[in-house]
Structure 1
Amino acid sequence: MSRLDKTTGPRPIVRMMVLETDEPHPETKDRKGSFGEILHQHFVKAGEAHDPPLGIETDIRFVIPEKDGRIPKYEEFEDCHALLITGSVYDAHGDDPWILELLELLRKLWLQHPKMHFSGVCFGHQLLCRLLGAEISPAPTGDWELGHSKVSLNEVGKKLFRAEDDHVHLHQMHQDQVVSPPTRETAAELLAGTARGGSEKVEVWGHSDHTAVQGVYIRGRLFTTQAHLAFDEGMVKRQIEMRVESGSIGDLEHADQAAETAHLDHDGELVAAAILRFFHDEDEDIE
């Protein structure tokens, strides 16, 4: 567990807990830190750019028990307003004991902390959609969405990102995907009578040619992204390398082509700013 603070003078503070569900490549960890630390720095930058500037406090918990992590207890979230789940090499549709334990914790938090804001990246996006009853599975074609990718935005997405264009470019690293978004029916009591004026309406904010559900949004409760907002060139290349070496990615030509796009500009800062506004309760007018 670690807690990171970044404040300069009197300013509003956004406090979030990051649940780390994987470790970065050793070279990335030496250079930039853990996934939670990388995300913290990304949100610090978004907080500095916010008007007015926002301070960021991040409580980081590594949750994989077989790698010396621990699922936090429910009581540890008493003062938690914003929760973010990282990406992972694990399958969000898997039945690993720690994944099932985490799902049970998230369910309890969702039901008993109606003001908590939930966000997730890649694995985290898929796991939160699974929590709400969505199906998660590998892409029907069996291929991966890798590297620099174009994500088309609908009107909700354009409002969330305050984007003038109808698309963003983001780094991808996944084969599994959310087959279709959760609904009030699949989520059952989790979306029945959402508290604090939040909406029960589930919105998909964007899609790509590979993945129909690039992110899910529920006003006041949930904002997820399939793409990695904080990946840089080195991280993309090393993550591809790790998956090729493990045998997860078998199409080496596709992997090489994706690695060659890793240097291209992407809109991760735009996504970080949007999630930060969501955590700061600035999404009340988005429908």
Structure 2
Amino acid sequence: MKIDDDVVDQKRKYALLLAARDSDYVRMKYGGYFNVFVGVFGSEGEVWDLFRVVDGEFPEDEELNKYDGFIVSGSPYDAYGDDIWILRLCLLLRTLDFMKKKVIGVCFGHQVLCRALGGHVGKALGGWEVGIKQVTFVDDFLQYCPFMQDFHHIPHHASIIECHQDEVWEPPIDAKVIAYSEKTAVEAFCIDDHILGIQGHPEYTKDILDNLIGRLVDNNSIDMDFAEEARKKMELVEPDRKFWEEMCRNFLKGRKERHSLLLC
């Protein structure tokens, strides 16, 4: 049955800018990263489109106004690289910032947002960060993130899955750092109410991370001892996926729901 175009136009519409190719594991278990993201951030009645920017697939300029928000995924590529698609992505992100479109950047997406908007990104000074890490929110979190005002309590800390060897060295001049950790000075930043960068992976599950660790060993990015230590620590803790999911949903969709998150 054909859906009337007017009905589609009335629905909220979002786009995933996918900067990585689907792994065999994620394709087999989840049907691809697109399904992972939509499963976490999507809601019934919305329209989600996929643009594989890593393969040069981008939305047309005249399409941008149709979208309520965008998510930029993680990637094995360096956000400071000069691949044509990365430079094109930077241009798109500057356009979306000018349009005040809501954009969430995850891991590579966080870093490339920083680069596109005038910040600096490079290799992490502390080396690889792999596992479930605790991040700390700044005291002025609510001042910088008014979209979180409807939460009854904001936790001082929240755990998130991380897997990266690059980091934000210096955020854009108009950005506010909203979270940090022991090894990473910029775990999250925002610009006004339309840009949100998160170094970790709110969309990842522990099984996705476990598979990724195995692939990093196979391609000699990390050694077996490092991998086994990361896996051992991963068994002892759980990421605060519910918090990150609701934070991203609140930012992306401007929801006014009430929440009850206890202080950590």
TM-score (norm. length: structure 2)? 0.83
How many correspondences in the alignment? 240
Structure 1, 222-231 or 158-167: larger mean CA deviation: 158-167
User: Equivalent residues in 2 for 1:1-287 (5 A)?
Assistant: 14-44=12-42, 47=43, 55-65=45-55, 69-111=56-98, 113-114=99-100, 116-141=101-126, 143-157=127-141, 160=148, 162=151, 163-184=153-174, 202-249=175-222, 251-263=223-235, 264-281=237-254
Structure 1, unaligned runs of 5 or more:
1-11, 48-53, 185-201
Distance in 1 separating the partners of 2:154 and 2:110: 25
Change (3 A) 1:164 1:276: closer
Distance in 2 separating the partners of 1:231 and 1:274: 15
3-state SS in 1 of match to 2:122:
strand
Q: Percent identity?
A: 28
- Residue 55 of structure 1, CA deviation: 4.4
Q: Which residue of 2 aligns with 1:7?
A: none
Distance in 2 separating the partners of 1:104 and 1:75: 15
User: 2:211 corresponds to which letter in structure 1?
Assistant: R
User: 1:136 corresponds to which letter in structure 2?
Assistant: V
| Contact 2:119/2:171 (8 A) holds in 1 | yes
3-state SS in 1 of match to 2:184:
coil
- Residue 148 of structure 1, CA deviation: 0.9
Distance in 2 separating the partners of 1:243 and 1:179: 24
User: 2:84 corresponds to which letter in structure 1?
Assistant: P
User: 1:91 corresponds to which letter in structure 2?
Assistant: D
User: 1:223 corresponds to which letter in structure 2?
Assistant: L
| Contact 1:25/1:238 (8 A) holds in 2 | no
TM-score (norm. length: structure 1)? 0.77
Distance in 1 separating the partners of 2:51 and 2:106: 15
| Contact 2:21/2:54 (8 A) holds in 1 | no
Change (3 A) 1:175 1:274: same
Distance in 2 separating the partners of 1:81 and 1:240: 34
The one-character-per-residue Cα deviations of 1:128-179 (angstroms, maximum 9, x if unpaired) are 01111111101123x2111111111113446649444310011000010001
3-state SS in 1 of match to 2:66:
coil
Distance in 2 separating the partners of 1:36 and 1:215: 22
| Contact 2:122/2:166 (8 A) holds in 1 | yes
RMSD of aligned residue pairs (Cα, Å): 2.2
Change (3 A) 1:146 1:93: same
